Amino acid sequence: MVIYITEQGAVLSKKQGRLIISKNKNIISEIPLNKIEKVNLMGNISLTTPIINYFLDKKIEVIFMTQTGKYRGKLYTDEYRNVLLRLEQYKRSQDEEFKLKISKSIVIGKLKNSYDFLLSRSKYLPKGGLSKELAAIRKTIEKVEKGKNIDEVRGFEGIGTKYYFQGYKKLIKNKDFKFEKRTLHPPRDPISAMLSFGYYFLYNEVMAAINIVGLDPYFGNLHTIDISKKSLLFDLVEEFRNIIIDNFVLNLVNRNEITIKDFKKKEKEIIHFTDNGLKKFISKYETVLSQKMKYHLDNEINYIRTIFQKQARHYARVVLGDEKEYIPFYRVGI
Q: Which domains does the chain have, with CATH numbers?
A: 2-74 (3.100.10.20), 83-320 (1.20.120.920)
314 labelled as ligand-binding? no
In terms of Cα–Cα distance, which of 191, 169, 165, 185 is closest to 262?
191
pLDDT confidence of residue 128: 87
* Cα 118 to Cα 334: distance, rounded to the nearest angstrom: 11
User: b vs e for 198-217, b when ≥16 Cβ sit within 10 Å of the residue's Cβ?
Assistant: bbbbbbbbbbbbbbebbbbb
286 labelled as ligand-binding? no
CA atoms within 13 A on the CB side of 5: 28
Q: What is the pLDDT along the chain (334 residues), one digit of tens a residue?
A: 899 999 999 999 999 999 999 999 899 999 999 999 999 999 999 999 999 999 999 889 899 998 888 888 888 666 666 789 999 999 998 999 999 999 999 999 999 999 999 999 998 888 888 999 999 999 999 999 999 999 999 999 999 999 999 999 999 999 899 887 887 777 788 999 999 999 999 999 999 999 889 999 999 999 876 655 789 999 999 999 999 999 999 999 999 999 999 998 776 667 888 989 999 999 999 999 999 999 999 999 999 999 999 999 999 999 999 999 999 999 876 5
157 labelled as ligand-binding? yes
pLDDT digits (tens, 9 = 90+) for 37-66: 999 999 999 999 999 999 999 889 899 998
